[in-house]
Amino acid sequence: MNAVAASELPASPDRTLAERILAGDEGSFRLLYRRHTPRLHQLALRLVGGAEADAEDVVQDTWIKAVEKLDSFRWESAFGTWLHAIAVNVAREAMRRRGRRQEVEFPEQAEPAAPAPLERVEVMDLERAIAALPDGYRTVLVLHDVEGYTHEEIAEQLGVAAGTTKSQLFWARRAVRTQLADERRTT
């Protein structure tokens, strides 16, 4: 075995750690895990709509899939980007399993009135509004407006056309604004 204490390689590049993980080294895995999991966990939590237990399952399954596929990763992108792409698919699968996935789109003829854009938005209110979105809309909104991916990147990750993600983002933003406006009216 090629055991490495977690304190021995604090600044090692992801690739070095990955090579040691492929040799079965637990210490290197723990380093890589600690480096990437806070961001991965936040992404997972947001994708699944704020359910902590579901987010932890997504984090675990994402790491398992990542280690399983580690020897095929070509390092043409950042490890974190690759990890997040896996997490998105794992989260979608988790949402599908729990039956909460709602891919419906607003039919054109039933288009709701556009809520006014908001100039001041509280972070907590925004977080709640995102969590309340249908799963499909939430995924696109989180990836685009929070994580900063382009429509083309999101479309590739989700296996859909870029036009679909644009449409979903449009309706996701509208739903968020409606939710925020409703909250403002009731407080």
Partner 1 sequence: MNGNDDLTPGERRAFEALPRERAPRAGLEDRVVAALQRRGLLAIPLTSSAAQRRRLTPWLVGAVAAALALFVGGFAAGQYFGARSGADAALRGAQASGSAAEVAAHAERAGTMYVAALVALNQLSDSADAPARARARQVAIAALGSAAEEVAHLAPNDPLAAAVLRGLNERSKSQGPAPSSRSVVWF
The span from the CA of 65 to the CA of 119, in Å, is 41
Can you read off the two tokens belonging to residue 95? Answer: 């949402």
The span from the CA of 179 to the CA of 177, in Å, is 5
Instruction: Tell whether residue 60 is a contact of partner 1 (CB under 8 A).
Output: yes
The span from the CA of 54 to the CA of 48, in Å, is 7
112 CA to centre of own chain? 28
- Judged by CB under 8 A, the residue of 12, 16, 37, 89 near partner 1 is 37
- Tell me whether residue 31 or residue 158 sits nearer to partner 1 (CB atom): 31
Instruction: Tell whether residue 12 is a contact of partner 1 (CB under 8 A).
Output: no
The span from the CA of 105 to the CA of 46, in Å, is 20
Instruction: Tell whether residue 10 is a contact of partner 1 (CB under 8 A).
Output: no
Instruction: Tell whether residue 39 is a contact of partner 1 (CB under 8 A).
Output: yes
- Tell me whether residue 159 or residue 175 sits nearer to partner 1 (CB atom): 175
Instruction: Tell whether residue 56 is a contact of partner 1 (CB under 8 A).
Output: yes
The span from the CA of 90 to the CA of 50, in Å, is 15
Total residues contacting partner 1 (rule CB under 8 A)?
43
Q: Hey, which residues between 136 and 155 contact partner 1 (CB under 8 A)?
A: 145-146
Instruction: Tell whether residue 34 is a contact of partner 1 (CB under 8 A).
Output: yes
Q: Are 31 and 12 in contact (CB under 8 A)?
A: yes
Beta-carbon contacts of residue 146 (< 8 Å; ≥ 6 apart): 46, 130
Supply angle C-alpha 8, 9, 14, rounded to 5.
Answer: 160
- Judged by CB under 8 A, the residue of 87, 95, 173, 179 near partner 1 is 173
Instruction: Tell whether residue 107 is a contact of partner 1 (CB under 8 A).
Output: no
Q: Which residues bind partner 1 (CB under 8 A)?
A: 1, 3, 21, 23-26, 29-30, 33-34, 37-39, 41-42, 45, 55-56, 59-60, 63-64, 67-68, 114, 116-123, 126-127, 145-146, 169-170, 173-174, 177
